Structure 1
């Protein structure tokens, strides 16, 4: 009987197909660069060295602009170099923008294997070219609880997160260690996190995202409120607005209006498409700074979106999730205020409130 699964993120490949004639290791990669292609082929060769002699491997390029002839030449050169016939066990195929058309060096193989490869490519698309991490999954579980849409089984988490099964199990194990979930993974309940648990979850998310700090060397940068006003105008005018949400103090006020912070020291934005070009339209004097002690009126947090866009409080821009806001407060250094915010989240959710 055929079996298949997505591999955990610490493996050298993305999926394994288990068939009667031997296993297939499959790696999906987005690149138009021949050097990256060669590196990926070599990584699969190393992975095959640890497998039984019947195992094979396939490198699947997604949205590659390399021609079929170039792919054939690269694979031929690789097979001529790799010893002991390992290279002959590796196949290479590329998908263009059309998911149903392939190019490359591809032998006949099982139709179910072909469907599994297609699922892997679609899985890669759904996760924006990167594997869904444990931190994202655990953050998603907590966020859905805050929205009043609690997930209660690993199957629900698998479906919602699009992560691999080992990654989901790892995330749920971590949440169980933090006493955030109780019960079996097939039937669990969420309970209000302690402050230590909130802090651990927020710090994990903080490290998961990439923070980019912007300042004006002249010291004449717009303040956080003025930058937000500019952002609203930019998004209203753009044919394709940036995929961003307001985080930090400003969004925390949306979820808890009595938060004891006098004024937002900076504008925190969660950026979900990796595009930072819009910053030039907010303030032409802003430049990226590496000195984290410098006053940065704008900080971008690049990462994966936790929730669908919320109904914005102001036209053109919505709020990031409460957990993202908590991570931002800790990044600013507002630890006491972060704890006050986290305790409000637990208290209100326990009493039947939701955070949309």
Structure 2
């Protein structure tokens, strides 16, 4: 191998997955990237893997959610094959995710790999979905995950919690939790709970609005349009329920926006939901495609938004704090942030006043 290509550390030579077929294994490295350098690193890792294995084994770099074209990846693979041993070169491939991976379609991927074994692409879809889920589960900044958790616990009127609980539940470091608590304490937003733990105090409506604006800024949102114009938010809510009942969509997909806000605040002064807002902790494109295969990413300003998918952290386990099962609604904070994002400032302020009053009613003087 070219001396310019240095062998990566042993820790880096494990692929994301391995398809074990009767005619040989296929090692897979999944990359969600726009960087050619990342692709080169993945190809190098795969070269070292199959260079130590039987000649029937292959390897493929799968690039998803990228601006890199098939032609650019093909060019990179050709150049890479020119600098590695011929015995390895033709066993390394690339595939490009077309953003249509749903329903076991082989054409969800295109690239240099041909005649893949039966069942490989079904397995690959699941691997990519899991990889993207891991990526999207951490898309919300760690600080905001902690803030959202404290807010949710306050809304449930949960008892004070320890720093360790927040670390483990939010999967963040001690310094992150400590920094958030210090910031909230300086704002005067924490209760004086003594040694029992930490909890937000009852907030006023202006403070709820401040939290909602910040949460809306921190989230990532993916907008989808419906070229047919046939879908309505209400129709898609019913479809979502059916898909969750049959385990085709995860229970962590939650309904927010106007529809979710109306569940918490029935007096919400909005006649009809302009779109369906969802909160998810995994690949938003895949969720949208399962909900309706006709949905496409909004690319032009004049396209009407049918579905807005917000990438957030998974909700807290409600079973510790509530006796009733969790409903498929996003939290009050998520719904409030959705209203702010859509420009319903007055309606959001009215909902914030309602949240303030409701939260006070849940609290007792002796807590």
Structure 2 residue 243 is the aligned partner of structure 1 residue 234: yes
Which of 140, 161, 180 is the matching residue for 2:170?
Answer: 161
Between Structure 1 and Structure 2, which shows a larger proportion of strand residues? Answer: 1
Distance 1:281 1:181, change over 3 A: same
Q: Secondary structure at the match of 2:206?
A: helix
TM-score, normalised to structure 1, is: 0.58
Would you say the 8 A contact 2:147–2:180 is kept in 1? yes
Instruction: Give 2:276's aligned residue.
Output: 267
Partners of 2:263 and 2:201 lie apart in 1 by 23
Would you say the 8 A contact 2:135–2:282 is kept in 1? no
Would you say the 8 A contact 1:215–1:221 is kept in 2? no
Which of 217, 223, 229 is the matching residue for 2:232?
Answer: 223
Structure 1 gap ranges (5+): 1-25, 40-60, 71-124
Deviation at 1:339, TM superposition (A): 1.2
Instruction: Give 1:249's aligned residue.
Output: 258
Instruction: Give 1:67's aligned residue.
Output: 49
User: In the TM superposition, what whole-angstrom CA distance separates every residue of 1:31-69 from its partner, at most 9, and x where no partner exists?
Assistant: 747955998xxxxxxxxxxxxxxxxxxxxx9xx997398
Which of 206, 211, 232 is the matching residue for 1:201?
Answer: 211
User: In the TM superposition, what whole-angstrom CA distance separates every residue of 1:92-121 from its partner, at most 9, and x where no partner exists?
Assistant: xxxxxxxxxxxxxxxxxxxxxxxxxxxxxx
Would you say the 8 A contact 2:216–2:338 is kept in 1? yes
Equivalent positions of 1:1-356 (< 5 A) are 32=29, 36=38, 67=49, 128=137, 133-183=142-192, 187-218=197-228, 220-239=229-248, 241=250, 243-291=252-300, 294-308=303-317, 311=325, 318-352=328-362
Partners of 1:38 and 1:281 lie apart in 2 by 32
User: In the TM superposition, what whole-angstrom CA distance separates every residue of 1:242-263 from its partner, at most 9, and x where no partner exists?
Assistant: 7411111111122222222222
**Aligned-residue CA RMSD in angstroms?**
3.9
Query: How many matched pairs?
Result: 248
Deviation at 1:289, TM superposition (A): 0.6
Partners of 1:282 and 1:292 lie apart in 2 by 23
Would you say the 8 A contact 1:182–1:190 is kept in 2? yes
Deviation at 1:210, TM superposition (A): 1.4
Would you say the 8 A contact 2:257–2:276 is kept in 1? yes
Partners of 1:293 and 1:333 lie apart in 2 by 17
Distance 1:249 1:150, change over 3 A: farther
Partners of 1:312 and 1:189 lie apart in 2 by 21
Partners of 1:151 and 1:67 lie apart in 2 by 50
Partners of 2:172 and 2:344 lie apart in 1 by 32
Deviation at 1:166, TM superposition (A): 1.0
Partners of 2:218 and 2:140 lie apart in 1 by 13
Deviation at 1:153, TM superposition (A): 4.0
Distance 1:353 1:344, change over 3 A: farther
Partners of 1:270 and 1:334 lie apart in 2 by 18
Deviation at 1:319, TM superposition (A): 0.7
Structure 2 gap ranges (5+): 1-10, 17-28, 53-133, 319-323
Distance 1:278 1:208, change over 3 A: same
Deviation at 1:188, TM superposition (A): 4.2
Q: Secondary structure at the match of 1:192?
A: coil
TM-score, normalised to structure 2, is: 0.57
